[in-house]
Structure 1
Amino acid sequence: MNSKTLLSLLKIKTIYGKFPQKVTHITTDSRETNQDAVFVALKGHQVDGFDFIPQAVEAGCRFIVTDRYRPLPEGVGLLIVKDPAKVASLFSGYIFDFPQESQTMIGVTGTNGKTTVATMIHHLSRALGKNSAYLGTNGYIINEDRYDSINTTPETTTLFRRLKEANDRETEVFAMEVSSHALKLGRTFGIDFDIAIFTNLSQDHLDFHNTMDAYGYVKGLLFSQMGQNVRERKYIILNNDDAWSKTYRTMTPHEVITYGMDSTADFWPSDIKGTLEGFNFTLNTPEGEFRVDSPFIGHFNIQNLMCAIIGEWLQGYRFSHIIEAARSMKAVEGRLEVLDPQLPIDMVIDFAHTPDALNKIIDTIEPFVKGRLIFLVGMTGERDMTKAEEMGRISTRADYAVFTPDNPANDDPAILVEALEKGAQHSSYRSFLDREAGIRHAIEYSRPGDTVVLACKGREPYQIMADYVKVPHRDDLIALDAAYRKYRSDEYEEDGD
């Protein structure tokens, strides 16, 4: 991309120095710069990209974008703009040749369910024969190839690079989670979504948004930013059971499709039956009734699956084909995932870390509990502490609760655990300052027939400790190791782990 072309895109700017003739890359990470890159210095919550301009220049970068002046060596161009984040999005589109335009872009937002819905759409798209990509908490996936992803929704330049990589592999569908942080910080600027989905809204991230109203309206940016051109075939999928949907439907001129648990929605389920191995139900649609078999458990997963089915229907697939594809799906990793059903206890992991999500997990699991329900929950460090007491209260709906920290970062684990303890409704609980110790205790405390639920992390592969150091950690692997040590007989051991 010609640098002069990029510079000509901006009406208001200040330019110093000499820019390279062409650039082929753009990044907000000084470690990824080179002589062919644009470095955009963004100010984040923990670091300021402005401080890393010298490192970018040292790496050979000759095109710097920032909102402040600083002297640079001869031969390096400095572009000063009012909003570097918007410029990063604008330039990324041109440098990567707008890769989103050749893919059906599906964005999923909400407090809970984003990962599940986006993953379901990806799996359904694959089963229906399409090249597809997923981006979110569970990583970055192109068809069946998986890559790591740091944020639920990465910053703008990384997002465009992911879109380009997917486009180069001829993906037709790109399903991604859209977090409230991403919407507020402008990470999705320039992404033209074709289908936008809302799952639900409940208390979370108030450390970032301050109030529920602010949190809710930020989520609404996904819908309001879909534009006013009704000649474009775009769709909004809203949860009819969530009050915020009434607000979101007023934010867009595009057609709104609703789903919910009763007949007031466009799509709703009836005749629901299920076990810990999966639910089946009748899906009522504007085109008739269809029986759906799925490996997913819980009413909220029925809602999630309806979202995914609607998303495929809006792309032109027949319900009969979509329903058949749904039969081949597997449970989403780390989302109400049952670990090794051959064990004499039921072990379930989930990512739920809000009061609403914890309540829904217990509501879902309780009908299938044969013995005692043992529930482990963690409080995240440097996050909204006002939800901790309620999380502790909900956890003690179980027969026995275990409290631990979760990604404590620079917070004192003892304070995190004490905040959960304040909500305890009975004395049948134990607290641990180390999450692994808590998991092993939960398994050791169990006996055959019990159900053990490990909430908050799913398959997240690390713990964020002091100074934001990520230490390898997997709830599922720790729990399985503890359970095999406690329950596996000699004949199990012969099979190997």
Structure 2
Amino acid sequence: MAIKGHQTDGLYFADDVIQRGCRFIVADRYIDLPDHVGLLVVKDPGKTAALFAEYIYDFPHESQTMIGVTGTNGKTTVSTMIHNLSMALGKKSAYLGTNGFMINEDHIVSANTTPETTRLHKRLREAHENDTEVFTMEVSSHGLKLGRTFGVNFDIAIFTNLTQDHLDFHNSMDEYGHIKGLLFSQLGQDVKKHKYVVLNNDDKWSEVYKDMTPFETISYGMDSTADFYPTEIEGSLEGFNFTLNTPEGRFKVNSPFVGEYNIQNLMCAIISEWLQGYEFERILEAVPAMKPVDGRLEVLDPSLPVNIIIDFAHTPDALRKVINTVQPFVSGKLTCLIGMTGERDYSKGAEMGEIATLADYAIFTPDNPANDDPAMLVKLLEEGAVHDNFTSFTDREEGIIHAVNNAEPGDTIILACKGREPYQIVEDYVKMPHRDDLIALDAAYRKYRSEEYVDGSSKI
């Protein structure tokens, strides 16, 4: 299936796949091929690939409750929460997204948030063969625009929020928002099927998406205008507790997740289980035992004398929420380290730098610089700084080590933008191994536990 992508064209690899044994090619235009290789020319090879994949893998989504989560921020957290909550309720579950592919506890790393259509259907088949009952996946705007989700029959579609991101790929925020809306419009028109749309009442785009689907919509938000909303919120870096107001009454929630935005994310997960027929009492009994989401407001080794927090926040809105969540619990100095991604939306750089300097001390680094000059990326962040108490590094690892070595007991460090992403994309798109969390822990153990530290493996 020769699909034309954002950076390359499948037909460029025709000779290679023929040498590997391919005997039939589907493409969007004619190309000279050897006599023993067939060619089918179609308008959209991506849609044709989805159709082929459906039949080859025998419609694997039909045996599972399919849940799609879209939005700028929160996709990974919501999807992982649903996956973990489903397992806690005794169901066999699969997850697919930024943090990889999981069938119950088994984990495989993935390259894309939403894989291309044939690989996606293969994952669905693998889950089906393992008797999973629910399959939760992140649905990116790239995946929707490029047709990667063609043919997937979602039962529940969830919207988290829409803020500035990916404007290197989309022409405007309006285009970005309407592409996200494809998830809700593609639920179809067969109202004999039980399908639901879960919308963030605090985001204006929900009104647009509400009009895009014929199916029932359920809203969640932070005030009483939503169907689901919290009151009596109490929190710390160990978790937030609150009262959940629902159409069926009020329920106390003891949550291990930190931050008001994680209350919203958790409400999405709770609603998704309720829509599948579970009673609130049973759902909420499982919440306190839920595992933290890797790389999302994750506190590393709480026994250390400094708080080291990693988070995937790489948009202005997400970074502001992380800092605002952490600041009330900071007893010493707050340090925020952020990176600027190469070959992406440069327009958010200054705003990211401004938000990072809400902390007492900011550190600027590149993040996945690709073919961009790391010094140029750092400069974009520096232009937004509102105070001079910052420093910059063109090597992210050096910046992380500096953040730890510069901290004193009682201080808090936020390492933003990467979470547990295991690589840095450098020149020529080479992926070099890199983990914010392991670098930070290594530096912290050397500083605070040198007498216990051997080679890092015993602690990390």
TM tier relative to shorter chain: over 0.9
Match of 1:248 in 2: 209
Which of 51, 68, 83 is 1:107 aligned to? 68
1:327 is the counterpart of 2:327: no
Match of 1:150 in 2: 111
After TM superposition, the structure 1 = structure 2 runs for residues 9-28 of structure 1, keeping only pairs within 5 Å, are none
Q: Which has the larger radius of gyration?
A: 1
Match of 2:407 in 1: 446
Encode CA deviations 1:230-264: one digit per residue, 9 max, x unaligned.
11100000000001101110000100000000111
Which of 126, 138, 153 is 1:192 aligned to? 153
Distance in 2 (alpha carbons) for counterparts of 1:319 and 1:227:
29
Distance in 1 (alpha carbons) for counterparts of 2:205 and 2:31:
45
Do the aligned partners of 2:5 and 2:146 also contact (CA within 8 Å) in 1?
A: no
Which of 389, 395, 400 is 2:361 aligned to? 400
Matching residue's letter, 2:384:
G
Match of 2:393 in 1: 432
After TM superposition, the structure 1 = structure 2 runs for residues 296-375 of structure 1, keeping only pairs within 5 Å, are 296-375=257-336
Distance in 2 (alpha carbons) for counterparts of 1:285 and 1:161:
37
1:486 is the counterpart of 2:412: no
Encode CA deviations 1:316-365: one digit per residue, 9 max, x unaligned.
01111110111110110000000000000001000000000011001100
Which of 220, 223, 241 is 1:280 aligned to? 241
Tell me how far 1:57 sits from its aligned partner: 1.1
Matching residue's letter, 2:386:
Q
Match of 1:82 in 2: 43
Matching residue's letter, 1:50:
L
Match of 2:53 in 1: 92
Give the secondary structure class of the aligned counterpart of 1:166: helix
Tell me how far 1:489 sits from its aligned partner: 5.5
1:203 is the counterpart of 2:164: yes
Match of 1:228 in 2: 189
Distance in 2 (alpha carbons) for counterparts of 1:56 and 1:80:
17
Seq. identity, % = 70
Encode CA deviations 1:410-455: one digit per residue, 9 max, x unaligned.
1111110000000000000000000000000111110000000000
Matching residue's letter, 1:422:
E
Give the secondary structure class of the aligned counterpart of 1:247: helix
Tell me how far 1:493 sits from its aligned partner: 6.6
Matching residue's letter, 1:229:
D
Match of 2:228 in 1: 267
Match of 1:160 in 2: 121
Which of 91, 101, 117 is 1:130 aligned to? 91
Matching residue's letter, 1:486:
K
TM-score normalised by length of structure 1: 0.91
What residue ranges of structure 1 are gaps of 5+ in the alignment?
1-39
Tell me how far 1:491 sits from its aligned partner: 5.5
Give the secondary structure class of the aligned counterpart of 2:50: helix
Matching residue's letter, 2:407:
S
Which of 425, 428, 441 is 1:467 aligned to? 428
Which moves more between the two structures, 481-490 or 373-382? 481-490
Match of 2:339 in 1: 378
Do the aligned partners of 2:446 and 2:453 also contact (CA within 8 Å) in 1?
A: no
1:44 is the counterpart of 2:22: no
Tell me how far 1:492 sits from its aligned partner: 7.0
Match of 1:4 in 2: none
Tell me how far 1:145 sits from its aligned partner: 0.4
Matching residue's letter, 1:443:
V
Give the secondary structure class of the aligned counterpart of 1:477: helix
Distance in 2 (alpha carbons) for counterparts of 1:275 and 1:46:
44
Tell me how far 1:63 sits from its aligned partner: 1.7
Encode CA deviations 1:277-319: one digit per residue, 9 max, x unaligned.
1111111111111111111100000000000000000000111
Do the aligned partners of 2:338 and 2:365 also contact (CA within 8 Å) in 1?
A: yes
Matching residue's letter, 2:342:
G
Matching residue's letter, 1:96:
Y
Distance in 2 (alpha carbons) for counterparts of 1:332 and 1:371:
26
Distance in 1 (alpha carbons) for counterparts of 2:260 and 2:99:
22
Do the aligned partners of 2:201 and 2:221 also contact (CA within 8 Å) in 1?
A: yes
- The count of corresponding residues between Structure 1 and Structure 2 is 458
Do the aligned partners of 2:295 and 2:311 also contact (CA within 8 Å) in 1?
A: yes
Which of 221, 231, 255 is 1:294 aligned to? 255
TM-score normalised by length of structure 2: 0.98
Tell me how far 1:45 sits from its aligned partner: 2.2
